[in-house]
Amino acid sequence: MTTVEITRFRLPAARADALLAARPAMLRDFETDRTGFLGARLIRLTADEWLDIVFWRSPDDFAESRRRGGNLPAIQAFFSLIDEVISVEEGTTTEPVGA
């Protein structure tokens, strides 16, 4: 099974383009800095609400990522665009990532 991080957040619609532009560099930093990072999907729910689904090899990898927070510039640049984190949840998948 794969650990899934589900984060719902809000930012002004006017910053959506900046968020999308910052995303690739943030994901590259995750790939190099976050052990167990398997991938992510960003979903726009409304003009100002988003859902970020991140896949982790294990709950420990997810916990370590949370501990690190915005420790690298590209990660911090992405996080700084977010006005409000509405919720963060953790779950598991029953099928492999990419299936």
pLDDT at 95: 77
Tokens of 95: 């099928």
> Which of 43, 66, 48 has its CA nearest to residue 11?
48
pLDDT exceeds 90 at position 48: yes
Q: In residues, how long is the chain?
A: 99
Query: Do residues 78 and 26 touch, judged by C-beta distance below 8 A?
Result: yes
pLDDT at 98: 65
> Which of 79, 69, 15 has its CA nearest to residue 44?
15
Lowest mean pLDDT of 39-43, 53-57, 94-98, name the range.
94-98
d(CA 19, CA 92): 26
Residue 40 neighbours by CB distance under 10 Å: 17
